[in-house]
Each structure stands twice: as structure tokens, then as C-alpha cells.
Amino acid sequence: MTNYSGNKINYYSIYGIKIATELVLNELVKMDGESDLIISSGKVPEFLKGTTQSYAFFQTKENEFLARIKNVGSFYVINGNEIIYDLYNDAEFISVKMYLYGFLLPVVLMQRGQFSLHGSCIEIEGKSIIIAGHSGAGKSSLGIAFRLAGYKLIADDLIAFNEDWLEGLYVHYGFPVQKITSDTAKHLKIKTMGLEKIPEDDKYLIPLKDEFLMTPVPLVALFEITLHEDETKGEVVLEELMGGEKLRCIIANTYNVQMIGTMGLAQKHFKYGTSLTKRIKVFRITRPIHGFSLEQQMALIVNAIKKTTF
């Protein structure tokens, strides 16, 4: 299948962004004729004049972002509404898509003054929750376990919120795909044969249909998954976070949090996080380092949703 549609423009929606592009992005939800972000091939600047921050593979200044990604291409993000790309001849298209979804679209959101969290968003009995945690904590595995138990996925990896919180806080749907590692697939008895594999990573992409929810659902809580420091402890513990710990958790689980300071958005991000603490509850689940405890974690989360007044 071709990666381009020639002169035809394709319309997609993800993270609350409406995209128009000649790229074929089959993972995304298709739309008709509306866009607030144009992604197109074109000439990318060699460098940004008056750059405020310059790093190994990207430069940034107010409302401009320039990146050169090895073996993939050059990308120029402007004003939160345009991405110009110049791909290398040998670029693998799946790598292009992964950088677009996981690196460039978050920059678009930041240029719009929006900050995303890193995790999975699941619908539970008419409410939605975010499962967060550092790499290796097991957030993706827990998100998959919930889906296999009959709950629906709203977003995986990047969690983007609606802009007008006065009308209620919810998460924009991502794309109907979940990532899964080989170990988790083996434990949950999911076959990876035939699934698309992410280059240079032990992760596969699972396409979803009916298990994916695009209807706005009120967001009520974030659950951060952590590991016991003592390897001998085998219980799963749930605690609600308050005050500074609650804010710290939200800040720490911001998507690409290390990029925020480089883009000069640290103060806006802090205010955004503080506002978010007033709208959702935050819990920490501490699980054993070894073995799988997904069922216990799921039970604690569902019980907290049922018992807690939001």
C-alpha cells in the first residue's frame, strides 16, 4: 500500500486535532473536509534564525520547531497549525508515523498551549481514568488487560484534553491501536504474528475496532503505577495523593515533559498542572517488582471508581 495519495488530500482526527495531509495514515480516524493542521511535503529551513534553544537534533523558538531525525527526515512545525516535512529516501514509513504521532503532534499541542499526559485512558462505567507511570511500570499492560476484560480504550500513550474545562474535562480519542511488548503478549496469550512491529523496539501494534471509544466521557482520576522498592513485597497497594504529591505526579507524567522547558513553557505547564489537580483525583498503585498482578490492580481501580465520589 502506498504511503501517499498523490493529489488527493486525506482528512483525519486525533487528540482533538483535525489533520489534512497527502500522507496515508491508516491508524487514524478518518474525517471529511475539515482541518486545523496541515501536514505537507516541502522545503524545511536549514536552521531557525534567532533560535532561543538549540539541541542535538532540534531547534526551537516561539511558535517554531525544527527537527532533523536520523534516518527519517526533517520537520518544521509552525504556530500549532502546520507541519512541513522533507523525508529521507530510505526512511521507513512506520518510523515516520511514530515520530509524527509521538513527537511532532505533542509539539503542535504545546504550541497551542495544551499539555498532554503519558499513559492509557480507559472508560469504566461511564467515567474515564488515566493509567500512568514511568517506562516499565506496566501501564500499557494494565491498559490492555482492561480492554481484554471488556472495557474500552479512549487513548493509548498520549493523553490530550479538551480545551474548555468549564464544560467538563474529558480526553480526546487517540488512534484505535494499542502497543504491546512480547512479554505482555505471551502472558496475556495474544499472538503477535501478523501484527506490525515498531522498528528497533520490542513492541507490536494491535488494531482495535469495537473496543475503541470516540464518545467524550468525563475524566475523573489518574492512577500512577509504581514498583515496590523492596523486592520481597508481594502485595498491591492503593493510596490517594494529595497536595504537592498530587501536583508532582501530574507534572512527572506529562508527555515529553523534558521538552517543555526547552520550549520556554515551564511556567504555563505548572499553571496547567495546578489547574488539573483541582479537576481530577490522583491515586498511586504500588505493585510487586516481579510477576504479573494485573487482576489485583484492576480490582483496586474499579473498586475505587465505584466507592469514590467524584
Domain ranges of the chain: 10-111, 117-307
Q: What is the mean pLDDT of residues 199-212?
A: 84
Total Cβ atoms within 10 A of residue 246:
22
Average pLDDT estimate for 132-145: 87
User: DSSP string covering the chain, please?
Assistant: --SB-TTPPEEEEETTEEEEESB--TTSEE-SS--SEEEEE-PPPSS-TT-SEE-SSEEEETTEEEEEETTTEEEEEETTTEEEEEE-TT--HHHHHHHIIIIIHHHHHHHTT---EEEEEEEETTEEEEEE-STTSSHHHHHHHHHHTTPEEEEEEEE-B-S-GGG--BB----SEEEEEHHHHHHTT---TTSEEPTTSSEEEEE-STTB--S--BEEEEEEEEE-SSTT----EEEEE-HHHHHHHHHHTBTTHHHHHHTT-HHHHHHHHHHHHTTSEEEEEEE-SSS--HHHHHHHHHHHHHHS--
pTM: 0.88
Residues 233, 82: Cα–Cα separation, whole Å: 50
Residue 26: the pLDDT is 85
Which residue type, as a one-letter code, is found at position 270? F
Please give the Cα distance from 139 to 122 (Å, whole number): 11
Mean pLDDT for the stretch of residues 24-40: 91
Q: What pLDDT band is residue 263 in, cutting at 50, 70 and 90?
A: confident
Which pairing describes strands 37-41 and 53-54: parallel, antiparallel, or unpaired? unpaired
β-sheet bridge partners, residue 204: 180, 197
User: What rounded mean pLDDT belongs to the chain?
Assistant: 89
pLDDT per residue as tens digits for the range 225-257 = 999 877 667 789 999 999 999 999 999 999 988
Q: How far, in Å, CA of 254 to CA of 248, rounded?
A: 10
What's the grid cell of residue 150? Answer: 471488556
Q: Model confidence at 1, in pLDDT bands (50, 70, 90)?
A: very low
* Domain 117-307 class in CATH: alpha beta
pLDDT in tens, 55-88: 668 888 888 999 999 889 999 999 999 999 999 9
